[in-house]
A and B are shown apart, each in its own frame.
Chain A
Amino acid sequence: MNKVSDDISKDLKDQPKFTTDIGEKDQDHHSFDLGEQTTLKKIQHFLHGNPTIVPVIILILSVIAFGFIAGGKFFSAFNLSLIVQQVTIVGILAAAQTLIILTAGIDLSVAAMMVLASVFMGKLSVEMGVPTLPAIAVGFISGIATGAFNGLLVTRLRLPPFIVTLGTWNIFFALVIFFTGSQSIRSSDIEVNAPLLHFWGERINLGGFVFTYGAFLMIGIFVFLWFLLNKTAWGRHVYAIGDDKEAAELSGIRTDRMLVSIYAVAGLVVAIGAWVSIGRVGSVSPTSFYEGNLDSITAVVIGGTSLFGGRGTIIGSLFGALIVGVFSSGLSIAGLDVLWQRFALGCLIIVAVGIDQWIRKVSA
């Protein structure tokens, strides 16, 4: 512990101050006084500047803890790669969810959007004889359209995203039931008519670690979104809108247009997730991923992104999804009942939001 706090205080010392070598004349106007700080305060400052460090620490600690609790079985290559496979879909949904939550919104409809897109892909290619690639394209368009629809409702009607997506969640779910008549599209039918839909479920074995192509795609999506958020003006505007929408507007950002585009990009990411989900599950089931909406929010929140917008990192959500995966896997290998997995997850969410609130106080 001492070593950690030493490291942190060293980091703080090394951080350049706002003004160090200004002329004498202005000295007293500018001194940026860090003042006397307790170790706790220093940690708070450090976490404030590096929000992703919290999920990383939790991930490492939980992996170590479950290594002790669940023993070698947990650390087996098979199990570790299984965790990655299991979080693929929630991870992709969390990537989309992160975009929305960064704008101080929330999207309760992501999983329903995903199932709707996968229904389009499956229905068209398996039952209506459309070539697979165009069918997938229709699924992508469905994702973009449903995302943009959410965005338009949020910006045009000025409704809170929570309410908009609570409504569209039900609407999209109803559409799924309407198009499928509650019937699943069987895995064997997909295999015969449109094997390309199963592409992301293919596995490769890397020295005992078994990964699906979908897991690599998930990582790819996170890397791509990281570039988008950090290296482009569009990404900076996502943060600016979530931070202070009015200030963003006055700075010349067309916030409404931006918001619609953010929801649409999130929709596209969700549609990619739809394709991956067919490979993962095998079939297209209208009632699958019913908890995906909340799971994605859980991953984002545990990943250190603030529900109040403007703060957080996309990579944090990947760690968030992995933490959830590690918890579920570790607790089940340890032989604990599912109810305790839920219990632990619930505690984790509350702790994560609590830490976020505490870190945010630093600027006050």
Chain B
Amino acid sequence: MQPVLVAKKLSKKYGKVVALDSADLELYPGEVLGVIGDNGAGKSTLIKVLCGAVIPDSGEILLDGKNVTFTSPIEARKLGIETVYQNLALSPALSITDNMFLGREIRQKGFMGSFLKFLDKKAMADEARKRLSDLGLLTIQNINQLVETLSGGQRQGVAVARATSFGTKVVIMDEPTAALGVKESRRVLELIGEVRSRGIPIILISHNMPHVFEVADRIHIHRLGTRLCVIDPKKHEMSDAVAYMTGAKQPPQN
């Protein structure tokens, strides 16, 4: 099976600090790939390179087998790599609809849209409502509610719905449960399953081992700027993963 996203020998140095040392990564269709690593292992640089926020010194990225380069998150997004940032990148004072279409609004047809540039608010609200309920997320009554009136989990839902709405090939989720309570975390994990069931593969970065072990199909362990190994969460214990991550135990040779 051809991977959707492949990173080959990515390297990145900040002065003398090697953040990425010829790191590889593969993401297969329809899977959730957990990415874990100790602090300073370079996983966040790896993710920033994949989402376009950091330009690597060398190495290549293949999307659907084709070599791609991008120099900003906006370009990466245009190619179908969507990122749900840890801070969610939502505008709290705008409505759910406004947020979902921020930067890619739908204009009205004809003169009103092309000349006066009026927005088609109804089309956007309908689409936003559809996206949210497609994700089994919510039956929203008031799609024009301001995002700041939502709970943390609901905001995460809006961010995920936005990320999966526009011809997305890959979703990168950075610490989606870090700021959430138990119930809300549970809901976000269900949401990840929902996105996967729609055939969109996910890269999940998290410090929360139980969460990663629960939803990931494979777990990529990052250590010292490169991929140490990829493990199957069904065949390994959490304590093993932590031991590999910290160098206390040698990883299995696959």
The interface of chain A, by Cβ under 8 A from chain B, is 15-22, 26, 28-30, 32, 49, 231-234, 236-237, 239-240, 243-244, 246-248, 250-253, 310-311, 363
Contact = CB atoms under 8 A, between A and B. Distances in A.
Contacts of A232: 116-119
Interface in B100-115: 102-105, 107
Interface in B141-194: 141-142, 145-146, 148-151, 153-154, 183-184, 186-187
B240 to A, nearest CB: 32
Which size class do B's interface residues fall under? 35 or more
Contact of A30 (B77, B89, B138): B138
Given A18-B140, A234-B117, A363 B149 contact: yes
Contacts of B149: 18, 363
A29 to B, nearest CB: 4
Interface stretch (B15-23, B41-49, B91-99, B204-212): B91-99
A32 B83 CA distance: 27
Interface of B: 73-74, 77, 83, 85, 87-94, 98-99, 102-105, 107, 116-119, 121, 138-142, 145-146, 148-151, 153-154, 183-184, 186-187
Given A239-B93, A239-B94, A243-B91, A251 B138 contact: no
Q: Quick one: which of B93, B116, B118, B139 has the most chain A CB within 10 A?
A: B93
A185 B77 CA distance: 56
Contacts of B117: 232-234
22 contacts: A15-B142, A16-B141, A17-B142, A26-B187, A29-B153, A29-B183, A29-B186, A232-B116, A233-B119, A234-B117, A236-B94, A240-B94, A246-B87, A247-B89, A248-B102, A251-B89, A251-B99, A252-B77, A252-B102, A310-B91, A310-B92, A363-B92
A18 B150 contact: yes
A246 B90 CA distance: 9
A28 B181 CA distance: 13
Contact of B91 (A17, A28, A248): A248
A232 B114 CA distance: 11
B132 to A, nearest CB: 10
B92 A18 contact: no
Nearest to B144: A16
A64 to B, nearest CB: 32
